Amino acid sequence: MSIYAIGVFLTFVLYIVVGNYAGRAVKDVDDYYVSGRNAPTVLIVGTLVASYLSTVAFMGETGFSYEGYVIPLLILIMITFLGYFGGAYYFGRFIRRAKALTIPEYFGRRFDSSTLQMVSGIINVVGIGAYLVAVTQGSAILMSELLGTSYGLSLLIVWAVYTSFCFYSGSKGVILTDTIMFFFFVLMSFIAIPFIYKAAGGWPQAIMKTAVLAEKPDILSWHGLTGVNNYMGTPTDVLVWAIVLGLVWAAVLAVSPWQTSRYLMAKNEHTVIRSAIMGTIAIGFIYCFLHISMTTLNLVNPNISPSETAFIWSAFNIFPTWLGIVVLGGIMASALSSCSTFLSLVGFSVSNDIIPHLSKNHNNKELLRMSRMVMLIVGLVTLVITYFQPPAVMWIGYFAATLFAATYGVVSFMSIWSKKITAKGALWGIIAGFVVVAVTEGLKSFGGVSYPVYFRPPILGAVASYIGVLIGSKLSQPTEAEKKYRENLFIVPEEEKSPVEIKRTRLYPKLLMISGIIFVIGMYFLYYHPYSIAVLK
Amino acid sequence: MNGELIFTICYGGLAFLVGAYAHWALGKEYKTYESNNK
């Protein structure tokens, strides 16, 4: 077994030990589903970002930057800055106030409809389940490259690690391990950057040489590589792509269950707001500094194929061994953190939303035991599906992520801000969004149908969802129970009005503003200044 | 001004604006708590 594999295995042991230790504190279903609703900001930030970033970020997107599309990717990320605060302020804190165990349960209670809860639960299981399969496959492929073991054995190892603590400790273990994993990959990202520059000839020479790289002209220009044989045709196409996809991903950050469900565990609503702002800052820093450096890898080796392995290639070939272990452990952490969150959400939806009679006529202890059993069964089903489903990491992951932007986006915000939306409207909106995204994505993947960038499946799904809400709400009236529930959501709990908490929360927007200034200054000296000198020469 | 410089300013600029909006929105809301308490 190589030193890299031993290092990664040690991180696995850490997660299993910490995750299971956290499980000892699980006394009831509130602890299991929402970590007792007492998680502080650091844990919510950790689990928010760790659930969002997976191998897609540290393999797919670092490869995308290496290939020559770093600035388009960063434009997309820049637009997603709108998602965290927008989602937390206009939706997240209200669902925290609703004190539901799951997002489908919130929908069910808000619209006084067990059908809506069940439909939303089924969509959670299908969509997040698909995402779980994709991310687990990605982790198993990475694991088999690391160990040289078969795909099946690697899959079993990865699955056993996250399932072992997820089923026993539920959210209590998941948010703790997520936070450790979050710090792990943030640390990895920032330690790796100087080593990448050093291997590429040192900064700022590395940026200057990359800017005028003969094989990839425009690699550092604002639009990246364009024209025939490239991902996009013209700079305008690139800009529209980045803005449209940025908005879609902002919606994913704002309403996807693997992000908003984190707010259900927050200690209070101040924690929700603070975590969302810190999440924006973390994403902003990780992307702008790591991804710019990834382009300079072209000076060391312009032929890394597939490009998704560029960061892994660096771990084996240009980083010192200790850093290689940290990077591989960090990439694996990003994958495992998403897997554990997704498994927990699928398990919770099965036991709480799809088979609601499970929660009736049982005491808390029995319910906890049954929830754990369901989680284990869901985990085993996932293992079987993942083993037999051919790997399709990127498209399934992308489909599942954006599915929720379309399916839940409109209904989530309207459930808070519209007096007219009814249970029927919400149900039709969710089903219309889901069906349109599933059909149009299916036609794209299996029928070769292509869409203009303005009318990608998530956009079409969001429009269909809105039309579904409008028609469904026109054909019915909100009931008294729905009106009352919505009104209660606007009653601010007294504990949220504490001057001490308010004073502290008001510091966070200032931190984001300061980070914005640091991004401009950092980006100017790190990227623009050397780039402009090289290009003007 | 070229596209690269615009991007350089916008990346941090948008983060700054989101922070400024959050500052304004939260400030406005928290003020109503204070006035209700008086």
Coil, strand, or helix at residue A39?
strand
Q: What is the pLDDT of residue A493?
A: 93
Predicted-complex ipTM score:
0.95
Q: What is the pLDDT of residue A384?
A: 92
Confidence (pTM):
0.93
List chain A residues with CB under 8 Å of B4: 71, 220-222, 527-528, 531-532
Q: Which of B8, B3, B13 is nearest to A239 (CA)?
A: B3
pLDDT tens-digit series, residues A306-351: 888 899 999 999 999 999 999 999 999 999 999 999 999 999 999 8
In this prediction, residue A72 has a pLDDT band, given cuts at 50, 70 and 90, of very high
HEC string of A263-290 equals: HCCECCHHHHHHHHHHHHHHHHHHHHHH
Question: Which spans in A349-456 are helix H?
Answer: 364-388, 393-417, 423-447
Q: How far is A124 from chain B (nearest CA, A)?
A: 30
Q: Chain B residue with minimal CA distance to A221?
A: B4
pLDDT above 90 (res A392): no
Interchain proximity A288–B26, CB inside 8 Å: no
What is the spatial distance between Cα A164 and Cα A39, in angstroms, rounded to a whole number?
Answer: 22
Name the residue with higher pLDDT: B1 or A455: A455
Residue B18 has its nearest CB partner, among A81, A288, A518, at: A81
Q: What is the pLDDT of residue A537?
A: 67
Mean pLDDT of chain A: 91
Asked if the C-beta of A235 comes within 8 angstroms of chain B's C-beta atoms, the answer is yes
Interchain proximity A273–B15, CB inside 8 Å: no
Q: How far is B30 from chain A (nearest CA, A)?
A: 7
pLDDT above 70 (res A395): no
Cis peptide before A257 (omega within 30 of 0): no
What is the spatial distance between Cα A178 and Cα A342, in angstroms, rounded to a whole number?
Answer: 12
List chain B residues with CB under 8 Å of A519: 11-12, 15
What is the spatial distance between Cα A27 and Cα A101, in angstroms, rounded to a whole number?
Answer: 15
Q: What is the pLDDT of residue B37?
A: 63
Q: What is the pLDDT of residue A398?
A: 72
In this prediction, residue A456 has a pLDDT band, given cuts at 50, 70 and 90, of confident
Question: Which spans in A70-214 are helix H?
Answer: 70-87, 93-98, 103-110, 114-147, 151-199, 205-211
What is the spatial distance between Cα A340 and Cα A82, in angstroms, rounded to a whole number?
Answer: 26
Interchain proximity B25–A511, CB inside 8 Å: no
Asked if the C-beta of A498 comes within 8 angstroms of chain B's C-beta atoms, the answer is no
Question: For residue A498, how far is the Cα from the chain centroid?
Answer: 32
The dihedrals phi and psi of A226, each to the nearest 5 degrees, come to -135, 175
Range of lowest pLDDT (A137-141, A189-193, A241-245, A282-286): A137-141
Q: Chain A residue with minimal CA distance to B30?
A: A502
What is the spatial distance between Cα A183 and Cα A14, in angstroms, rounded to a whole number?
Answer: 14
Give the B window 9-38 contacts with A, CB below 8 Å: 9-23, 25-27, 30, 33, 37
Interchain proximity B14–A81, CB inside 8 Å: yes
Q: What is the pLDDT of residue A137?
A: 87
- Count of CB pairs separated by less than 8 Å, A with B: 111
pLDDT above 90 (res A93): yes
pLDDT tens-digit series, residues A407-425: 999 999 999 999 999 999 9
Q: Chain A residue with minimal CA distance to B22?
A: A509
What is the spatial distance between Cα A409 and Cα A464, in angstroms, rounded to a whole number?
Answer: 11
What is the spatial distance between Cα A33 and Cα A172, in angstroms, rounded to a whole number?
Answer: 8
Rounded to a whole number of angstroms, the distance between the first and last alpha carbons of chain A is 50
Q: What is the pLDDT of residue A358?
A: 63
**Helix (H) / strand (E) containing A465:** helix A457-474
Please work out, in degrees rounded to the nearest 5, the angle formed at the alpha carbon of residue A509 by the alpha carbons of A505 and A514.
130
Q: What is the pLDDT of residue A391?
A: 65
Kindly report the number of other CB atoms within 10 A of residue A97's CB atom: 21
Q: Which of A323, A292, A293 is nearest to A196 (CA)?
A: A293
Interchain proximity B18–A524, CB inside 8 Å: no
Q: What is the pLDDT of residue A295?
A: 96
Q: How far is B32 from chain A (nearest CA, A)?
A: 10
Mean pLDDT of the region A428-436: 96
Q: How far is A82 from chain B (nearest CA, A)?
A: 7
Query: What is the identity of the amino acid at A501?
Result: E
Structure tokens at A113: 């409809």
Mean pLDDT of the region A215-226: 91
Q: What is the pLDDT of residue A224?
A: 93
Q: Chain B residue with minimal CA distance to A520?
A: B12
CB A171 within 8 A of CB A341: no
CB A45 within 8 A of CB A190: no
Q: Which residue has the tokens 């660096």?
A: A314
What is the spatial distance between Cα A162 and Cα A152, in angstroms, rounded to a whole number?
Answer: 16
Q: How far is B31 from chain A (nearest CA, A)?
A: 10
Q: What is the pLDDT of residue A141?
A: 85
In this prediction, residue A130 has a pLDDT band, given cuts at 50, 70 and 90, of confident
Interchain proximity A221–B25, CB inside 8 Å: no
List chain A residues with CB under 8 Å of B18: 81-82, 85, 280, 512, 516
pLDDT above 80 (res A363): no
pLDDT tens-digit series, residues A501-516: 999 999 999 999 999 9
Range of lowest pLDDT (A13-22, A175-184, A397-406, A471-480): A397-406
pLDDT tens-digit series, residues A286-315: 999 999 999 999 999 999 988 888 999 999
pLDDT above 70 (res A56): yes
Range of lowest pLDDT (A180-189, A382-391, A466-475, A491-500): A382-391
What is the spatial distance between Cα A111 and Cα A93, in angstroms, rounded to a whole number?
Answer: 18
Mean pLDDT of the region A355-375: 77
Q: Which of A526, A246, A516, A520 is nearest to A405 (CA)?
A: A246
CB A299 within 8 A of CB A210: yes
Asked if the C-beta of A90 comes within 8 angstroms of chain B's C-beta atoms, the answer is no
pLDDT above 70 (res A232): yes
Residues shown for chain B: 38
Interchain proximity A75–B9, CB inside 8 Å: no
Interchain proximity B15–A512, CB inside 8 Å: yes
In this prediction, residue A369 has a pLDDT band, given cuts at 50, 70 and 90, of confident
Q: Which of A57, A27, A528 is nearest to A291 (CA)?
A: A57
pLDDT tens-digit series, residues A469-494: 999 999 999 999 999 999 999 999 99
pLDDT tens-digit series, residues B1-38: 699 999 999 999 999 999 999 999 999 999 988 777 65
